[in-house]
Amino acid sequence: MQYGYVYKLIPSSQQMTVMNRWLDMLLAQYNYLLRDRNDSYEQVKSPKMGNYCDLRTRGEACPLTCSVNKSTSVGYPWKKSQKNPRRSVYEVQSSTLPTLKKERPWYKEIHSTVLQQMLRQLDTAFSKFFKGEAGYPKPKRRSRYRSFKYSPG
């Protein structure tokens, strides 16, 4: 049997400032990744004209045969292993986190597990939607985004 514990923290004013800064950055990243998934989904549903590519050869292809836009930020969807060559959306978006920290150095102060847990939260929201347990995930507002998670240990 697994137990879950919830602790109420009483942070100092300095810690509160750091946590609020983290929450602002996590909220921005959550909404960005949600929009990225929405754009990718819309692209597959109704392809827009533009520079499209064949994922295997990375060459130009007709939009009628390939609906993946080269400018999408979802990332490279294939794995090196042959068992299951397709990467999940979580894996693709998780692989962009090191790049995020390089391009936006202020994200370096957030621990990597906190960013990964935020991404898992988004992935859980989508899996619940596809199972029919919840509605379609919506962008969060700051008043509704008040916590972040650390993994155990």
Question: Per the domain annotation, does 153 fall within a domain?
Answer: no
R_g (Cα) of the chain, nearest Å: 18
Q: Which residue, 134, 44, 123, 52, is CA-closest to 91?
A: 123
CB neighbours (10 Å) of residue 44?
A: 10
- 51 belongs to a structural domain: no
Indicate whether 32 belongs to any domain: yes
140: tokens are: 């969060």
**Considering its fold, how many domains does the chain have in total?**
1
Q: How far apart are CA 118 and CA 120, in angstroms?
A: 5
Global pTM?
Answer: 0.72
Query: What domain range is 100 assigned to?
Result: 13-46+73-144
pLDDT 10s per residue in the chain (153 long)? 888 888 888 999 999 999 999 999 999 999 999 998 888 777 666 655 555 555 556 566 554 444 444 444 445 555 565 665 666 788 888 888 888 899 999 999 998 899 999 999 999 998 898 899 999 899 999 888 888 887 776
